[in-house]
Structure 1
């Protein structure tokens, strides 16, 4: 268990990222608050320009170590710094673009939580009712030993196991990532793991929680989850680069992701095990992700009471599909979510009022140290701590 936890705290780059990040933050510390000097020619900005050396340094360093693409957008009260690095596809070598679609990973959970809370606002479901009230089959699917509430699914205190380990016990990694799993499949896999007796709620990050939430949403909306997210979020906000649907892996504006499995280089762009996943299946862009969280924080998607519930965190600083971090600019909080998936990492961090934001995504080097544990790391790590530190330090320097 301790070894697994240790794996979950790394990006997959290990000591390399730690060293690069340390240098990155040193560079950033020398230039914050933002300098008034010229903006790099490759950076698209509005006037006055932002100066974001830490993100630029970090991205360049990651590219030098084999990352295939990095995309980033920083938005400070409408003033934007956007930049892309590397290539979107190793075969065509087309340059990456900041509008390219990327795996949102765990950021999907924030979107699913919005759709759940819309049902709560309408009085259709109650956060503190047992899940079995809405899904009678739930307890038998997961072999539950005690009642589990909707709230505990949203904030990962249900006790449900992450389904990755049993998934990999059942089949080799290459086969697993090429297999599509339904929400019921994920719940059954989680249910094969023994329940741990707990004296108090414990944070266990698990995609199985959101598989159950997907079933609730689909039951009460009578439509597939992707359609509900489009109605609730994507269409009202004009998120034209965002969807939860089987991807067109040959589309032009899609960043491809690669991983080395047993010595074989694989294109694992939107792998089958992730397609349609309520925990990690959304495909988006850094710009769309910033728009989503800004709208959420400003009350455009949920009413005041529902948003307050969403922002209320447990002992792990995790709310209802939201992570929370200290905001040194306001003595308040940042909110957002990490988006690590197989071969890709990202994060979106936004201030509580939605005026200061950073979204960044990285297609990792395909031959990183954690090849054998790549899928386990991708599905069990809610946020990359290294990217989190980079994002928060950057935003703190742009008050």
Structure 2
């Protein structure tokens, strides 16, 4: 019975992380970078899978072996560090949520023909309704899971009928002719940056799947979550590559939707709008809930008014998007922003791995630490380069 329960919890953690990663930003980023880099984007995906897996393995293992949430671990590494990381994750979650609302707006734009801004407002109201009416939340959860499966099947179908140059994609995955540091930063940040990688680990923590006896299950869960998100990324890449290789120019106002429209016609375009909206609104709910959970222990008032703060978080995200506009650029930017947070959060976990008062009898493998340090240095270097580019462009 306990094994069945642990398996259920593990699957829940896997899908929580994977579905958090496969949001509207994920869809848009894949389409945009495929159009920019062509078959060479396969190399970026391959590199990001390795970086994602190393980061996720380290963070999930250290959190579950310590039996403490990330912010408490960080505070034990250095007093106040947990508050700082929580603040960064909160800001990163806000950025993600702005992008999620933008994506939901794009989805309704395709599905109903309303403007992106009208779609964003409608989606924000629906997301708020989920936190007001609990039964609506259950229905939305089932709806999101069904459409998540539909999203994978649709991507698989488009990947098949778009007739992508698979041989070229395979060659360029190991011998690229084009490369983009910004693409790696954005893709890794959109998969394991910010709050996303902590969501699954904290789910295991809440379910008491901790300690050395659960280490094999934690390893499987961490790798399975990255694998599921990466599978969807590859399918979308192949689908977009087939369309781009045929000479089709993607619509800059909604590049991911134009991939499906070009391959499947009007029905595929409308179906993608439904999927994009579902990905957006489910991510709005998950991002708002997880972001507030990182700061709710700061003060009893935050804990008392948790639901009201989540609703306010969604409203603020929507208002900021309405002021900023540019939904596609927003969806690309949020991945890069959260990629900048990863070196700090992962670096902190690596320090914690060698504090016996934190991880108890757990022994961190040297290879995993070295690999983790490489990810920290790589992502910090890319973050610096991206920030420098932004400052110079202004």
TM-score bracket, normalised by the shorter chain, equals under 0.3
Greater RCO, CA 8 A, separation 6+: 2
TM-score, L = length of structure 1:
0.27
Higher helix share: 2
Higher strand share: 1
TM-score, L = length of structure 2:
0.28
